[in-house]
Amino acid sequence: MYRAIQTFLVALCLLVSCLATGLRAQEDIRPLVDALGVGNFPQKVQAVNALAASGDPKVAEILQNLSDGKLFAAKNGGPIYLAGDSDGSFVDVLTGTPVADAPGNLTKIRLNNSLRGAITAAMSQLTLMSPDRSARLAAAQDLLRDANPDNLDLLNSALAEEKDTEVKNTMEAVRAVILLKTDASVAEKEAAIEMVASRGNRDALTILKAALTSAPVELKPEIERHISSIESSLAVWDVAQNLWYGLSLGSVLLLAAIGLAITFGVMGIINMAHGEMVMLGAYTTYVVQQTVAAVAPGLVDYTLAFAVPMAFLFTGLVGIGIERSIIRWLYGRPLETLLATWGLSLILQQSIRTIFGPTNRQVDNPSWMSGAFDFGGLSITYNRMWIIVFSIGVFIALLLLLKRSKFGLQMRAVTQNRRMASSMGIRTPWVDALTFGLGSGIAGIAGVALSQIDNVSPNLGQNYIIDSFMVVVFGGVGNLWGTLVGALTLGIANKFLEPYAGAVLGKILILVLIILFIQRRPRGLFALKGRAVEQ
Amino acid sequence: MISQMLLRTHEKKTLIVAFLILLAAAFVPLSNLLLAESNPLHIPGYLVPLLGKYLCYALLALALDLVWGYCGILSLGHGAFFALGGYAMGMYLMRQIGNRGVYANPDLPDFMVFLNWPELPWYWYGFSHFGFAALMVIVVTGLLAFVFGWLAFRSRVTGVYLSIITQAMTYALLLAFFRNEMGFGGNNGLTDFKDILGQNIQAAGTRASLFAATAIALALALLLSSAIVRSKYGKVLVGVRDAESRTRFLGYRVENMKLFIFTISAMMAGVAGALYVPQVGIINPGEFAPANSIEVVIWTAVGGRGTLIGPIIGAILVNFGKSIFTAAFPEFWLFALGALFVATTLFLPKGIVGTVEQYFARRREYKAAGETEKTYQEDKAAALTATTASPQAAE
């Protein structure tokens, strides 16, 4: 019995002491919390940092409330209150118990951007210990950008418990950055420099450059060596990245322009409604996606497999319809064709706007086209990669069609000498109609691809039509290779100019260069030669 | 004596149209300013700048017709010259605002103050003088057309290639003028004008004068164009349009002839733009949009290319239709415009004026020959047999 009482007493004591420590902890941070309500923004930033450094479990919640704008304070300082659920009521920040006697003159604690930044940094320190791996990684990466020597202890304890290699690496890098900022020993700093340099990316470069000024003299050459080696490797990867962006843009241009090149090359007409064919293809994708989602939701990832043939058929048929109803009356009058097809493009745009509305339509990427992966220093998105593959596929298919099929043979014959081809029994009007259908169908396929990377809106085609013309004019007509070279050259040149001149100026420069280029070679890079040209 | 001289150099109908335009130049301002509002002939104040706008478009279409109708150069970039002329005038009007802008800075236009520009860029110097700005309207547009045309015509860029690079030119300018760094007001362009030549730009009297100036400019441009196309040079120009190589082999310097007409035409487009801006009160990069330039082509085509009166009628008709259409059924305007493009090229290749002229010319021929309706039928039958007998001839 005595023993039982003793146990009870001990337990009671323990409980009380626990409660007391709990209370004490809360009371410990209360002044820190109350400091959030007074002073100017820099002082509040300090208050946030002090609060974060206290390591109290309540801090994350308090900071969250602060960034949500739910904390209130009196103008002249005093305690901080948390807005309650009902209007005008307040609860205690730490205990959450309602406060009845809250003063009337409370105002919301205002934030500015530096304070928001401090809150985010503090929150990421706190999430270093989170059980969620991606949260820890994100927190470590946040800290890498904004490392604070005050976090060293926290980081060390997080490092000790970390199991995941990638998170651990990042944390070690953060630790190295912090060491570089503090007055650690030279050996420690040297190891830290090695650690940072081994990451070899742009962040590492910034860190090393910042460290260079405060580093001990004996370490400076070491840092400089690392900086220059990182810079040179980054320069190489930059070129590669630009090349990749250029290829990606070039493949999009190729898709958009190749149909134009066919109709222009074979029939000598400029189809201003080509961009609208691209747009129709994109809208076909949208309709197919909606249908698949409604009929067979399991097949959503394979939408594109249905969309490509559907878009080809639909736009191809529209193209043949246009050729039979309008364009065939205008042969031999290329400028009139240009005007008529422009009128047609206005009608098509407005029809789509009437049917689907003027706003963008959402076309989802299938799962295998979303996301990105890193390849060395390159960041490659899957949808861009697949579009490059796709455009190469379309190009090869077209090349085979032109060079190996009977239709291709007839088409080439008509391109080179219409009257002779006609005399040989080729039904040239039929070839014209099919060629126009083919060109339009390819535009439709381009639309499927563009729907994956661009907004599907009635203006989609307009954004590409001038660039497509430039590709065709630059590459020359009557030769698919001209279009390929033209598209890739323009794409890559555009992306290489962008970093120096800016996106818009780069584009202007390209346009001016093409205008000048046309003076040198009025019929493009790969011009048709011989008698056919003068017709 | 003057009328005889005019008749020698111009066709009668050109003179009639020029006279009608001058009549409008007198009538519209007087009716607006002097007649009572109850008078059925009174033209309300809001209509004056609208009519002035139509006349500016007519002048632009006339300029395009000079190169397209008479020389076969389909420029899809004439909107660029129009907009450049407009910007030159807009710059003058900006400088006239002085310290009445939002930031009340006497030296810098508002947008420059907003962008923290320390001083006026050099290419804005002189634009506070009307004479300089007016000169620049012609010089800048003419210079651009000269350089562009010199490069293009010398290397024999023709047909659709030329059309496409003119489109590229206006597109490049569109992108350029959208940039704030260019110093032309970026996206917003130039607006909020106060005075022109010391007069309040919103006042009824100023608007009426601007209308009169536009109408007079249009009449003068019509007479100038008529003088050009009826001269020996104009005749050769039509030769260039119909058979460029043949004209070249006959010994004419085709490049120079094209360059001359292209430059003149660009200057006219610039003047149209300069008159347009004070009447609508704004100029922004949207005027460079390739679609605008193509729309000018359809005005010309509807009215009748290769006739000087056609583009004027076409521009006024289409824009009048646009005003009515966009007010009544805004969503159908693009359908109507698109259908207009298709229908004109398919069914009315000569345009309204061309078709009417053709009809009268045919009737005159028969009347002159003193033929009866019977022989007309016989003629037709004969023509038909001739066609069936030799299909090559028909081709």
The minimal CB distance from B341 to the residues A270, A343, A470 is found for: A343
Q: Give percent above pLDDT 70 in chain B.
A: 91
pLDDT score recorded for residue B214: 96
| Chain A closest-CA separation from residue B183 CA (Å) | 14
First and final CA of chain B: distance in angstroms?
Answer: 48
Query: What's the rounded Cα separation, in Å, for the pair B225 and A27?
Result: 92
* Contact yes or no for B244/B158 (Cβ under 8 A): yes
The minimal CB distance from A343 to the residues B165, B167, B340 is found for: B340
pLDDT score recorded for residue A17: 53
A491's tokens: 């794409």
For B132-138, the CB contacts below 8 A with 24+ separation are B132/B92, B133/B88, B133/B89, B133/B91, B133/B92, B133/B274, B134/B89, B134/B92, B134/B274, B136/B88, B137/B85, B137/B88, B137/B89, B137/B270, B137/B271, B137/B273, B137/B274, B138/B267, B138/B270, B138/B271
Question: Which amino acid, A191?
Answer: A
Q: Is the pLDDT of residue A267 over 70?
A: yes
Angle at A124 between CA A119 and CA A126, to 5 degrees: 95
In chain A, residues 481-510 whose CB comes closer than 8 Å to chain B: 504-505, 507-508
Per-residue pLDDT, averaged over B341-362, amounts to 90
- Determine, for residues A343 and B164 on separate chains, whether the beta-carbon distance falls below 8 Å: no
Q: Is the pLDDT of residue B388 over 60?
A: no
Element counts in chain B: helices (H) and strands (E): 17, 4
Of B47, B45, B55, residue with least CA distance to B17? B55
pLDDT score recorded for residue A127: 73
Taking the Cβ of residue A473 and every Cβ of chain B, the question of whether any pair is shorter than 8 Å is answered with yes
- pLDDT band of residue A378 (cuts 50, 70, 90) is confident
Residue A322: how many other CB atoms lie within 10 Å: 23
pLDDT score recorded for residue B386: 52
Taking the Cβ of residue A334 and every Cβ of chain B, the question of whether any pair is shorter than 8 Å is answered with yes
- Determine, for residues A469 and B178 on separate chains, whether the beta-carbon distance falls below 8 Å: no
Q: Is the pLDDT of residue B365 over 50?
A: yes
- pLDDT band of residue A298 (cuts 50, 70, 90) is confident
With beta carbons under 8 A apart, name residues in chain A contacting B341: 339-340, 342-344, 346
With beta carbons under 8 A apart, name residues in chain A contacting B176: 504-505, 508
| Chain A closest-CA separation from residue B155 CA (Å) | 5
Run of H or E including B36: none
- Determine, for residues B164 and A336 on separate chains, whether the beta-carbon distance falls below 8 Å: no
In chain B, residues 256-285 whose CB comes closer than 8 Å to chain A: none
Handedness of CA A119, A120, A126, A130 (dihedral sign): positive
Q: How far is CA B392 from the centre of its chain?
A: 39
Query: What's the rounded Cα separation, in Å, for the pair A480 and B96?
Result: 55
Interface test with chain A among B342, B344, B346, B348, by most A beta carbons within 10 Å: B342
- pLDDT band of residue B68 (cuts 50, 70, 90) is very high
Of A277, A276, A258, residue with least CA distance to A266? A258
Per-residue pLDDT, averaged over A127-156, amounts to 73
A106-115, A226-235, B180-189 — most confident range:
B180-189
DSSP annotation of B44 reads: P
Taking the Cβ of residue B144 and every Cβ of chain A, the question of whether any pair is shorter than 8 Å is answered with no
With beta carbons under 8 A apart, name residues in chain A contacting B346: 326, 329-330, 340
Residue B349: how many other CB atoms lie within 10 Å: 15
| β-strands A372-375, A106-108 pairing | unpaired
Of the listed ranges A74-88, A337-351, A418-432, the least confidently predicted one is: A74-88
Taking CA atoms, A403 is separated from A261, A406, A420, A422, A440, in Å, by 16, 9, 19, 19, 19
Q: Is the pLDDT of residue A177 over 80?
A: no
pLDDT score recorded for residue A300: 82
Tell me whether residue B156 is exposed, middle or buried, using C-beta atoms within 10 angstroms of its C-beta: 0 to 12, 13 to 18, 19 or more: middle
Q: Is the pLDDT of residue A239 over 80?
A: yes
Q: Is the pLDDT of residue A23 over 60?
A: no
Taking CA atoms, A293 is separated from A338, A363, A455, B58, in Å, by 39, 11, 20, 53
Q: What are phi and psi of B318, to 5 degrees?
A: -65, -40
- Determine, for residues B298 and A339 on separate chains, whether the beta-carbon distance falls below 8 Å: yes
Taking the Cβ of residue A400 and every Cβ of chain B, the question of whether any pair is shorter than 8 Å is answered with no
* Contact yes or no for B50/B225 (Cβ under 8 A): no
Kindly provide the ipTM of the predicted complex, given to two decimals: 0.84
Angle at B383 between CA B382 and CA B388, to 5 degrees: 100
With beta carbons under 8 A apart, name residues in chain A contacting B151: 515-516, 519
Q: Is the pLDDT of residue A535 over 50?
A: no
With beta carbons under 8 A apart, name residues in chain B contacting A324: none
Angle at B259 between CA B253 and CA B263, to 5 degrees: 155
- Output B288 or A416, whichever has higher pLDDT: B288
With beta carbons under 8 A apart, name residues in chain B contacting A516: 151
Residue spans per domain, chain A: 2-114, 130-215, 252-463
A35: Cα within 13 Å, side-chain hemisphere: 16
Taking the Cβ of residue A355 and every Cβ of chain B, the question of whether any pair is shorter than 8 Å is answered with no
Q: How far is CA B303 from the centre of its chain?
A: 12
DSSP annotation of A14 reads: H
The minimal CB distance from B338 to the residues A346, A354, A470 is found for: A346
Q: pLDDT tens for residues A281-295?
A: 999 999 999 999 899
Q: Is the pLDDT of residue B374 over 60?
A: no
Taking the Cβ of residue A274 and every Cβ of chain B, the question of whether any pair is shorter than 8 Å is answered with no
Per-residue pLDDT, averaged over A179-184, amounts to 73
Q: What are phi and psi of A92, to 5 degrees?
A: -70, 140
Q: Is the pLDDT of residue B382 over 70?
A: no
SS3 A183: coil
Of A370, A345, A286, A355, residue with least CA distance to A468? A345
Beta bridge partners of residue B190, listed in sequence order: B283
With beta carbons under 8 A apart, name residues in chain A contacting B344: 339
Taking the Cβ of residue B300 and every Cβ of chain A, the question of whether any pair is shorter than 8 Å is answered with no
Q: Is the pLDDT of residue B384 over 80?
A: no
The DSSP result for A358-427, as a single string, is: SSPBP-PPPGGGSSEEEETTEEEEHHHHHHHHHHHHHHHHHHHHHHHSHHHHHHHHHHH-HHHHHHTT--
The minimal CB distance from B164 to the residues A330, A350, A469 is found for: A469
With beta carbons under 8 A apart, name residues in chain B contacting A466: 167-168, 171, 290
Query: What's the rounded Cα separation, in Å, for the pair B140 and B84?
Result: 8
Query: What's the rounded Cα separation, in Å, for the pair B339 and B394?
Result: 30
Q: Give percent above pLDDT 90 in chain B.
A: 61
- pLDDT band of residue A368 (cuts 50, 70, 90) is confident
Query: What's the rounded Cα separation, in Å, for the pair A277 and A290?
Result: 20
Question: Which amino acid, A233?
Answer: S
Per-residue pLDDT, averaged over A349-371, amounts to 87
Query: What's the rounded Cα separation, in Å, for the pair A46 and A42?
Result: 6
Residue spans per domain, chain B: 2-347, 350-383
Packing angle, helices B290-303 and B78-97, rounded to 10: 120
The rounded mean pLDDT for chain A is: 81
- Output B269 or A192, whichever has higher pLDDT: B269
Q: Is the pLDDT of residue B102 over 70?
A: yes
- pLDDT band of residue B375 (cuts 50, 70, 90) is low
- Output B376 or A302, whichever has higher pLDDT: A302
pLDDT score recorded for residue A71: 80
With beta carbons under 8 A apart, name residues in chain B contacting A325: none
Taking the Cβ of residue A328 and every Cβ of chain B, the question of whether any pair is shorter than 8 Å is answered with no
- Determine, for residues B338 and A335 on separate chains, whether the beta-carbon distance falls below 8 Å: no
Q: Is the pLDDT of residue B312 over 80?
A: yes
Taking the Cβ of residue B151 and every Cβ of chain A, the question of whether any pair is shorter than 8 Å is answered with yes
pLDDT score recorded for residue B295: 93
Interface test with chain B among A350, A507, A531, by most B beta carbons within 10 Å: A350
Please provide the size of chain B in residues.
Answer: 395
Q: Is the pLDDT of residue A13 over 60?
A: no
- CA nearest A349 in B: which residue? B334
Of the listed ranges A266-270, B96-100, B176-180, B316-320, the least confidently predicted one is: A266-270
Run of H or E including B141: helix B130-154
Q: Is the pLDDT of residue B58 over 80?
A: yes
pLDDT score recorded for residue A236: 87
Q: What is the pTM of this model?
A: 0.77
Per-residue pLDDT, averaged over A80-105, amounts to 73
Of the listed ranges A22-36, A221-235, A275-289, B203-217, the least confidently predicted one is: A22-36
| Chain A closest-CA separation from residue B298 CA (Å) | 8
Taking CA atoms, B116 is separated from A370, B120, B125, in Å, by 42, 11, 18
With beta carbons under 8 A apart, name residues in chain A contacting B175: 504, 507-508, 511
Q: pLDDT tens for residues A464-499?
A: 888 888 898 888 876 788 899 999 999 999 888 888
- CA nearest A504 in B: which residue? B175
With beta carbons under 8 A apart, name residues in chain A contacting B157: 518-519, 522
In chain A, residues 158-217 whose CB comes closer than 8 Å to chain B: none
- Output B374 or A339, whichever has higher pLDDT: A339
Query: What's the rounded Cα separation, in Å, for the pair A32 and A54?
Result: 9
Q: Is the pLDDT of residue A226 over 90?
A: no
pLDDT score recorded for residue B40: 85
Taking the Cβ of residue B113 and every Cβ of chain A, the question of whether any pair is shorter than 8 Å is answered with no
A435: Cα within 13 Å, side-chain hemisphere: 31
- Determine, for residues B334 and A347 on separate chains, whether the beta-carbon distance falls below 8 Å: yes
The minimal CB distance from B349 to the residues A336, A469, A516 is found for: A336
The minimal CB distance from B163 to the residues A338, A350, A351 is found for: A338
- Determine, for residues A518 and B297 on separate chains, whether the beta-carbon distance falls below 8 Å: no
In chain B, residues 343-372 whose CB comes closer than 8 Å to chain A: 344-346, 349
Query: What's the rounded Cα separation, in Å, for the pair B91 and B83?
Result: 12
Interface test with chain B among A267, A327, A330, A346, by most B beta carbons within 10 Å: A346
Taking the Cβ of residue B325 and every Cβ of chain A, the question of whether any pair is shorter than 8 Å is answered with no
Return the exposure string of A443-472: e unless at least 16 CB atoms fall within 10 Å of the residue's CB, then b.
Answer: bbbbbbbbbbbbebbbebbbbbbbbbbbbb
- Determine, for residues B346 and A329 on separate chains, whether the beta-carbon distance falls below 8 Å: yes
* Tokens 């110093």 belong to residue: B183
Query: What's the rounded Cα separation, in Å, for the pair A389 and A173?
Result: 37
